[in-house]
Chain A
Amino acid sequence: MNKSNFLNKMSIRWVVAFKEEAKVILDYYKMLLVNEKTLYPIYKNVEETHWLTLSGIGRHNSAAATSYLYKISHAPKWTSWINIGIAGSGKGDYGDICLVDKIFNQNSNITYPITMPKSNLPKMSLVTTDTPITDYFSKELIDMEGSAFFDIASKLTSKEFICIMKIISDGPLDDIKQLTKLKITQLVTSNLSKISEVVSYYENLSENENQIIAKPDIFYKISSNWHFSVTQLYQLENLIRRLDVFCGNDDIMKLIKQCKNSSFVINALNSKIENNKVDWSDV
């Protein structure tokens, strides 16, 4: 994907353990299997805004699949990362969906995901274990992937862009042995509207971040017309970002069209900034 394809696009990456959990999401977001031999199955939509990988069970798989998806999908900085799946619970009710705001793993490490603000979904703590457990006592949520997903995703983006959603599938009154593939898919289906509402928040978050981070178009135009050193490119980017707030692209180009080299360009743009008086009545 080249740089211009990123413009105005949100970016969502899903890490899901099982096909049964992912099925409804793949349909809803119109993602199809990528026809290449990949380490983990990879799905994406036509616009390449949503990508999903099936990690399989366990922390190692979840961590590896998250890294793999990052690399293979060229996930940009403004990507929102979502992990969704079923979980055991000693406190919630079968079929309830919740956001995770505290994660314990078996090494006693504790992390604190930042949850979607102003959401009506309940928030719960998650224990990620390496082996399936049915001792639900006092545990809000139990899974086998969440902590690893969060650890890796938080190296790829800032924590506000990471979301873990769990749907309660088993507990003291709901025997895990009764859980079937069909039931898992039904659990996700019955929560699809809530899931899409949460995802919509992360889509907006990602799109807004893209608009803030993305370099103005004119930066690419100028940097291709003159030869800039790395330091100059950094200066140019800063100057263009500042000028872009109060100056049209045509005005910027007029300023520099006579410049013989990159130093003259930087000086001309700098001079424009140095003489700018912000009109606060216009802000």
Chain B
Amino acid sequence: MIETIYIEKKIKNHPRTKFILNKFKKSRLLEIDKYAEIFNKRNQNFRIQKANPNLILAHKNNSFVLPTPEGFGIGSSENFYFSHMFNCIYDCRYCFLQGMFSSANYVIFVNFEDFDTSIKNVINKNINSKITFFSGYDCDSLALENVTGFAKHILRLFQHYPEVDIEFRTKSIQKEPFISIEPMKNVIMAYSLMPDLMSSALDNKVPSISKRIKVISDLALRGWKIGLRFDPLIHGEDWKFLYENLLEKVYNSIPLESIHSVSVGPLRFPKKMFKDIFKLYPKEPLFTGPLSTNKDIISYNTKIEEEMSFFCKNLTLKYIDNSQFFRCYA
């Protein structure tokens, strides 16, 4: 239940605004000038808001498509991301969003068509390069699909560009619109996974690992390409045993030919971001692990990072080709 929906005056009559509002008939509606009036204000407590986030419907004015940070990618020479939404319905303790935004309210940008235009421009400018777009960098790409319909919308665009890849990164078990349309070869359904024990402690409000694996399997059997994202890798007692179990379970649950790529990524926070997150959750067990500072980044030490990556890679390469394995650093 969303208690209050803030709506930018500019888009109050937008058909997508009406479509979304139709799903929240009991919410209180408040008109605002700009979403930043609510979202960017200082003196907000992300943790408290996260318990009952409100919704902001807004118009995005610029920066529709951005290059991904260095170290983020799955093999293409040019990587871009876009976010039709800020924040996420899940509450994962390692998530950078909790340190990036001062508000936990959800912002949905309703002008999807402007994303289309920007994506087309980027494609046209990089016509000779292999491009991958990532949906769901500042949000989960599918978790609110039943409200926004963004994936359904953007898939239509990518049907016209079969040589350009798009990755939907998610922890959701939302299968629509993917079970209603024919699989597309340029679409990667990428799922973030970690051992069940860690996920239970860290992935709050998120579907269980076994439910996610079930959906991965369903979509793979329908012919969709699958990305497996073991990111971040979480350290702890028996981590080898836990990751081995997880990897074996995943690779034995889905047709291997459906796997587009597997990536692993370390747990990392910019120092300032970590400070903010730690203030919000000082009693969080994740932060009692062997984290240290290196060049303004808080992470496990290099030895742990390397050992965990190497371990997961070795196990993974029993099932897929080395060219499908990636290490992400962002």
- Cross-chain contact of A160 among B38, B44, B287 (Cβ < 8 A): B44
Q: How far is the CA of A283 from the CA of B287 in the complex (A)?
A: 12
Residues of A within 8 A of B287 (CB): 242, 245
In the complex, the answer to whether B44 meets A158 with C-beta atoms within 8 Å is yes
Q: Do A159 and B236 touch across chains, with their CB atoms under 8 A apart?
A: no
Q: Does B278 count as interface, using CB distance less than 8 angstroms?
A: yes
* Interface status of A212 (Cβ within 8 A of chain B): yes
Check A260 for interface membership: any CB of B closer than 8 A.
no
Contact among B201, B282, B292 for A212, CB-based, below 8 A? B282
Report how far A87 CA is from B287 CA in the complex, Å: 48
Interface residues in A187-226 by Cβ distance below 8 A to B read: 205, 209, 212
Of residues B28, B32, B48, B291, which shows the largest number of chain A Cβ atoms within 10 Å of its Cβ?
B48
Please, which residues of chain B bring their CB within 8 A of the CB of A159? 41, 43-45
A147-187 near B? 1/0 per residue, CB < 8 Å: 00000001101111100000000000000000000000000
* A112, A123, A205, A275: the one within 8 Å of B37 (CB): A112
Q: Are A279 and B30 in contact (CB under 8 A)?
A: no
Whether B288 pairs with A281 at a CB distance below 8 angstroms is no
- Tell me the dominant secondary structure on chain B's binding face: mixed
B289 in the interface (beta carbon within 8 A)? yes
Whole-angstrom CA separation of A167 from B292 in the bound complex:
53
**Does A251 have its Cβ within 8 Å of any Cβ on chain B?**
no
A114 in contact with B49 (CB, 8 Å)? yes
Instruction: Please determine whether A245 and B285 come into contact, CB atoms closer than 8 angstroms.
Output: yes
B4 x A123 contact (CB < 8 A): yes
Interface residue B163 (Cβ < 8 Å from any Cβ of A): no
**Interface bin, chain A:** 35 or more
**Proximity bits, B264-290, A CB within 8 Å = 1, else 0:** 000000000000001000111111111
Contact A276 B289, CB 8 Å, known A157-B43, A160-B49, A212-B283: yes
| CB-based nearest B residue for A208 | B48
Query: B148 CB to closest chain A CB, in angstroms?
Result: 23
CA gap between A212 and B46 in the complex, in Å: 14
Cβ contact within 8 Å between B288 and A245: yes
Does B6 sit at the interface, judged by CB under 8 A?
yes
0/1 interface trace, chain B 32-53, chain A, CB 8 Å (1 if under):
1100011001011100110110
Chain A residue contacts of B201, Cβ below 8 A? 280, 283
A238 touches B278 (CB 8 A): yes
List of A residues within 8 angstroms of B51 by Cβ: 117
Query: B237 near A281 (CB under 8 angstroms)?
Result: yes
Is A250 in contact with chain B by the CB < 8 A criterion?
Answer: no
Contact A241–B282 (Cβ < 8 Å): yes
Q: Are A275 and B290 in contact (CB under 8 A)?
A: yes
B89 within 8 A of A: no
A245 touches B283 (CB 8 A): yes
Q: Determine whether A273 belongs to the interface, using a CB cutoff of 8 Å to chain B.
A: yes
Query: Which single residue of chain A is at the shortest CB-CB distance from B275?
Result: A238
Across-interface contacts of B48 in A (CB, < 8 A) = 158, 160, 205, 209
* Residue B100, interface by CB 8 Å: no
Given contacts A112-B37, A283-B201, whether A118 and B3 have CB atoms under 8 Å apart is yes
A91-125: CB near B (< 8 Å → 1, else 0) gives 00000000001100000001010110110000101
Contacts of A3 in B (CB 8 A): none
A243 in contact (CB, < 8 A): yes
Q: Given A159-B44, A212-B283, check contact A280 B290 (CB 8 Å).
A: no
Q: 1/0 per position for B197-232, CB-CB distance to A under 8 A?
A: 110110000000000000000000000000000000
What would 10 more interface pairs be, CB under 8 Å, given A155-B43, A273-B290? A101-B30, A110-B32, A238-B278, A241-B283, A274-B301, A277-B235, A277-B236, A277-B237, A278-B237, A280-B242
**Shortest beta-carbon contacts, A-B, top 6:** A117-B52, A278-B236, A283-B201, A158-B45, A279-B237, A160-B48
Interface set of A (CB-CB < 8 Å, partner B): 101-102, 110, 112, 114-115, 117-118, 123, 125, 154-155, 157-161, 205, 209, 212, 238, 241-246, 273-281, 283
